[in-house]
Amino acid sequence: MDAQRTPLVVANWKMHKTIPEALRFLDAFLPALEGLGAQGAPGVGRVVEVAIAPPFTALQAVGARLRSATASIGLAAQNVHPEPQGAYTGEVSPVMLSDLGCRYVIVGHSERRRHFGEDDAFINKKLLAALRHGLGPILCVGETLEERRAGRTQGVLERQLRGALAGCPPEGAERLVIAYEPVWAIGTGVAASPDDAQEGARFVRELLRELYGEAVAGRVRVQYGGSVQPGNAYELMVRPDVDGALVGGASLDPEQFAQIVAEAAKAVQAKG
Ligand code: 13P
C-alpha cells in the first residue's frame, strides 16, 4: 500500500523571491537535481514528485521555465479565492491558476489561518473550488503548541479535516494532498520528531479512512511540514504514513532543496 504512493516534495517559498531571484533558483536547482541523479541518488525526479510554489508574481515565469525543463516539476500556487471571477480586489481565482498551468494549490496554511483569519468554512470553499477547476489542493492542517500541550492535537486535526472536506466526494478526496504541519514546528528550526510526524500523518489517514474508506485513504499523500532540512528529511519521510514534505525556509536554497528531494528518494528505496 505505502509503495503505491509517490511522495511529493513541495517548495513553499511564501513571500520570497522576485522573478529574477526565482529564475536564478531554477538555474541552480535544475542542474543540482540532475546531478544528484547522476551521483546515484535513486530515481530523483522519477520516484519522487517535486513541485514549486512561488509567490503569484513569479508563477508565470517559473511555470514557463519548468515547462522547458527536462524534469517534470509541478507548479503550485500558495493561495486561491473560491470564486471563478468577480469583484474581489486583490484575489486570484482557480480559473486563473489553471490557466497558468498550476498543478497544485496550497489551502489552509496556518499562516493564512492566523494572519488572515481564514476559517474551516472558507478553506472548504477554496478546496472545493480548486477541485472543480482541475487543481490538486494541498490542504494544510496542524495544531498550535498550546493545543498540543492541552492534549487537543487530534481534536484540532479532526475539526480542520472535517471542516475542509465537507461536501468533498471520494473522487475529489483521492486527488488531495494533506500536509500535516504542526504550527509550533513552522519556521522555528525545531521539527516534529519522526514519531510525532508519523503519528500526525497516521491520524490524518485514519480519519480519511473513516470518511472515504480504505482505498481512498491508501492513495492520498500525507506530507509533513515544519522545519524540514536536509539533515532531518530522511528520518521524517521514511516513516510509513509520511509521503514527502512541504518545505518552507530550506526550499529557498537550491542545493538544500535538491538534497531534500534526494533524501525523499532514499526514503522511497528504504520503504521498498
Ligand atoms: P519551514 O520549513 O520554514 O518551517 O516552513 C514550513 C511551512 O510552513 C511550509 O508550508
- The mean pLDDT of 119-147, rounded to a whole number, is 98
In the beta sheet, which residues pair with residue 165?
A: none
- Does 2 reside within a domain? no
Give residue 40's pLDDT band: very low, low, confident or very high (50, 70, 90): low
Q: What average pLDDT does the structure give for the chain?
A: 95
- Does 114 reside within a domain? yes
Residue at 97: amino acid letter: L
Cα(227) to centroid(ligand 1), Å: 6
Domain carrying residue 56: 8-271
Buried b or exposed e, range 127-141, using 16+ CB within 10 angstroms: bbbbbebebbbbbbb
Ligand 1 atom with least separation from CA of 106: 10
Counted domains in the chain: 1
- Active-site positions read 109, 181
Give residue 29's pLDDT band: very low, low, confident or very high (50, 70, 90): very high
- Does 3 reside within a domain? no
pLDDT exceeds 50 at position 153: yes
Residue 70, C-alpha cell as written in the block: 527536462
The pTM of this model reads 0.96
- Does 133 reside within a domain? yes
Residue 10, C-alpha cell as written in the block: 513541495
- Does 109 reside within a domain? yes
Q: Determine the pLDDT at residue 2.
A: 45
Q: Determine the pLDDT at residue 163.
A: 98
CB-based contacts of 128, cutoff 8 Å, min separation 6: 82, 167, 168, 172
**Lowest mean pLDDT segment, chosen from 35-44, 118-127, 197-206, 211-220:** 35-44
- Does 1 reside within a domain? no
Is residue 244 within 8 A of residue 264, CB to CB? The reply is yes
Q: Determine the pLDDT at residue 79.
A: 98
Give residue 71's pLDDT band: very low, low, confident or very high (50, 70, 90): confident
Give residue 101's pLDDT band: very low, low, confident or very high (50, 70, 90): very high
What is the best residue among 104, 246, 256, 260 to mutate for testing ligand 1's pocket, by most ligand atoms within 8 Å of CB? Answer: 246
Q: Determine the pLDDT at residue 37.
A: 66
CATH code, 258: 3.20.20.70
- Does 215 reside within a domain? yes
- The mean pLDDT of 170-174, rounded to a whole number, is 96
The secondary element (H helix, E strand) that includes residue 138 is strand 136-141
- Does 105 reside within a domain? yes
